[in-house]
Structure 1
């Protein structure tokens, strides 16, 4: 009987944690991170769900003879923004799983 109470308590804790994590996931959609490249010549704004919200390109880097450089700068800015979005997600969701050893989570 005691084991059953422990299991029910653990299930309630898991449900509570799951609810808080879902709330945090929803909040992440409203938060943004910024990735830049070329000393800020290319800027990508992304939300916590890794959706690109905005791209700004300084006209100085728009060179028709060097499109490849511009493409590289855009890729670099997107990758930086994605890394920051991952860090934001880990920070927000990690506080709810801290101390738990659940395979596949954080």
Structure 2
């Protein structure tokens, strides 16, 4: 093997590649910290149910207007809650994916977040 790297590759190229990988790793860590501090909100049913989630894609709150609580139609309330939760988690996922796309220049790196 050639001194300082792989055959056919100069040691300087490997050092540059390593530096770029370290820089990308730091940027990804910074982005993850930023995402964790973000909060997302989704409202359904004209504001009847509001779901909030953080950048870790964890639900952190559900707000339900009292007037939508109908003991004779629990199924509608369940559907609203489910819809709000799915929408807010989709927003968090979309924001994460967009951030990764910017960071990686569009490369698909599955399992990173």
Q: TM-score, normalised by structure 1?
A: 0.87
Counterpart residue number, 1:77: 84
Shift of residue 14, structure 1, vs aligned partner:
1.1
Which structure has the bigger radius of gyration? Answer: 2
Of 54, 69, 91, which aligns to 2:61?
A: 54
Question: Any residues of structure 2 matched to 1:60-71 within 5 Å, and which?
Answer: 60-71=67-78
Runs of 4+ residues over 3 Å off in structure 1: none
Greater Cα shift, 39-48 or 2-11: 2-11
Q: Which runs of 5+ in 2 are unaligned?
A: 3-7
| Distance of 1:52 and 1:17 partners within structure 2 | 29
Q: How many residues of Structure 1 are paired with residues of Structure 2 in the alignment?
A: 105
Unaligned residue ranges in structure 1 (runs of 5+): none
Q: 1 or 2 for the larger relative contact order (CA 8 Å, sep ≥6)?
A: 1
Give the CA RMSD over aligned residues.
1.9
**Per-residue deviation, 1:8:** 2.1
Change (3 A) 1:103 1:43: closer
Question: In 2, Cα distance between the equivalents of 1:79 and 1:99?
Answer: 25
